Amino acid sequence: MDRFDCLIVGAGAAGLMAAIKASEDGRKVCIVESNEKAGKKIYITGKGRCNLTNACDPDSFFDNIISNKKFMYSSYYFFDNFQTIEYFNSLGLPTKIERGDRVFPVSDKSSDVIKVLVNKCRENDVEVLYNTKVDKLIIEDGEVKGVLTSGGKELFAPQVIVATGGKSYPSTGSTGDGYRFARESGHEVTDLIPGLVPMNIKEKDCQEMQGLSMKNVELTYVDVKTGKTIYSGFGEMMFTHFGITGPLVLSASSVLGKARDVKVILDCKPALDDNKLDKRILRDFSERPNYELKNVLGALLPRSMVPVVIKRSGIDASKKVNSITKEERAALVNVIKRMEFSFAGFREFREAIITRGGVSIKDINPHTMESKYIKGLYFAGEVIDVDALTGGFNLQIAWSTGALAGSQRGE
């Protein structure tokens, strides 16, 4: 029989970190991975560069956690973002800090992050079973005993760590099996929805601006029924054939949650108030008084946005700018500062960066990551109902919870 001290289901960020920590004191550790290689989701994070954590202070870190931040206190302080940076450096992976305190490998290669983790597992004699799918957990009398693979093989250990990831990017192997294991063993799994995901927009204007990436803009999401602002942020976004995406949109998606009757307001020029923007438009008009409107706005706005702005303003695109009225300029200002769109739902899990929801934190001991019901069963990473905004925070949740779970002896 195959017996180990610790079995880990999943060779993603949380699973690899858990394996390293579990094997540091000589324990016999095995990772069971359904893919043919480790870290498939790590590979695509940060557009292939791997934003592996964020170098912010603790208060800022917790401000960026959307769901169940208090649950993260113990695991974060056990293995925080600065320990993460130091640890990767110690493994031979130099890092750098970019805008927004985002931390990347100096090489800009996510494959290097995976490489040092896999090498450390190999150095610690961690056994990895690739192309091996876990069918179910083996549980007897309230204690985990091991796992049963889909091939009918039983693997035994007094400690099993479920680090299977969520449902996002299913092509990386995130099929949601961890949620099934949790439910089958008596744990609650909260509602699962795509997180950090692009959004569909009702208006067809987005298609006309498809591919347009905008920096230094402000997006505000307003609940139509109450008039209250749900989210407002400053940064980057992009128009697509279905709607909008980009960092601002992805962050907003995690805050919106289940809200549906929402209008999105884009301020293309947040650095200018209405009066200053009007003066800027007047200046552009004065420099080309005999030009048509459609040929002047290009100095202020991206080319693909000009027809949309003119159409929304109600002004004739062929009108000479020297004959445009004060009221018409006000209409232009209003469109540029308050371009409205109607939210039409999130994209699917296959386009989401993370899964929101998961194994209920009420069922997990935050000081150990162990189940409150099944002795020796632990959860780590995205499978838990904790999520954060973009910027390296979700990977840090995986490192922290994986490190804490792996450091428990489970005996």
Token look-up 């954590």 returns 53
pLDDT digits (tens, 9 = 90+) for 2-52: 999 999 999 999 999 999 999 998 999 999 999 999 999 999 888 899 999
Report the C-alpha gap between 330 and 57 in whole angstroms.
Answer: 43
Q: Are strands 134-140 and 143-149 parallel, antiparallel or unpaired?
A: antiparallel
Residue 259 is predicted with a pLDDT of 77
Q: Would the pLDDT of 169 be above 80?
A: no
**How many C-beta neighbours within 10 Å does residue 48 have?**
11
The mean pLDDT value for 49-74 works out to 97
The mean pLDDT value for 262-271 works out to 97
Q: Which candidate, 145, 261, 242, places its Cα nearest to that of 203?
A: 242
Q: Which of the pair, 5 or 255, is modelled with greater confidence?
A: 5
Q: Would the pLDDT of 56 be above 90?
A: yes
Residue 350 is predicted with a pLDDT of 87
Q: Are 82 and 52 within 8 A, CB to CB?
A: no
Local confidence band at 1 (pLDDT 50, 70, 90 cut-offs): low
The mean pLDDT value for 354-369 works out to 96
Local confidence band at 258 (pLDDT 50, 70, 90 cut-offs): confident
Q: Which candidate, 41, 53, 54, 47, places its Cα nearest to that of 13?
A: 41
Residue 410 is predicted with a pLDDT of 61
Predicted TM-score (pTM) of the model is: 0.89
pLDDT digits (tens, 9 = 90+) for 110-159: 999 999 999 999 999 999 999 999 999 999 999 999 999 999 999 999 99
Cβ neighbors of 307 (< 8 A, separation 6 or more) are: 208, 294, 317
Q: At what angle do helices 13-23 and 393-407 cross, to 10 degrees?
A: 30
pLDDT digits (tens, 9 = 90+) for 208-241: 999 999 999 999 999 999 999 999 999 999 999 9
What are the tokens at 81? 């973002």
Local confidence band at 249 (pLDDT 50, 70, 90 cut-offs): very high
Q: Are 299 and 255 within 8 A, CB to CB?
A: no
Gyration radius (Cα) of the chain, Å: 25
Burial bucket for residue 211 (CB in 10 Å: 0-12, 13-18, 19+): exposed
Residue 168 is predicted with a pLDDT of 80
Q: Are 349 and 170 within 8 A, CB to CB?
A: yes
Token look-up 């019901």 returns 373
Q: Would the pLDDT of 288 be above 90?
A: yes
What are the tokens at 406? 């792996």
Q: Kindly report the average pLDDT of the chain as a whole number.
A: 95
Q: Are strands 29-32 and 95-98 parallel, antiparallel or unpaired?
A: unpaired
What are the tokens at 310? 């003119």
The mean pLDDT value for 378-384 works out to 97
Q: Would the pLDDT of 68 be above 90?
A: yes
Report the C-alpha gap between 82 and 54 in whole angstroms.
Answer: 9
Q: Would the pLDDT of 171 be above 80?
A: no
Token look-up 């401000």 returns 63
Report the DSSP beta bridge partners of residue 54: 102
Report the C-alpha gap between 56 and 53 in whole angstroms.
Answer: 9
Residue 45 is predicted with a pLDDT of 87
Residue 46 is predicted with a pLDDT of 85
The mean pLDDT value for 44-62 works out to 95
Q: Which candidate, 134, 139, 141, 143, places its Cα nearest to that of 165?
A: 134
Residue 167 is predicted with a pLDDT of 86
Q: Would the pLDDT of 173 be above 70?
A: no
The mean pLDDT value for 307-321 works out to 97
By percentage, how much of the chain surpasses pLDDT 70?
98
Residue 256 is predicted with a pLDDT of 87
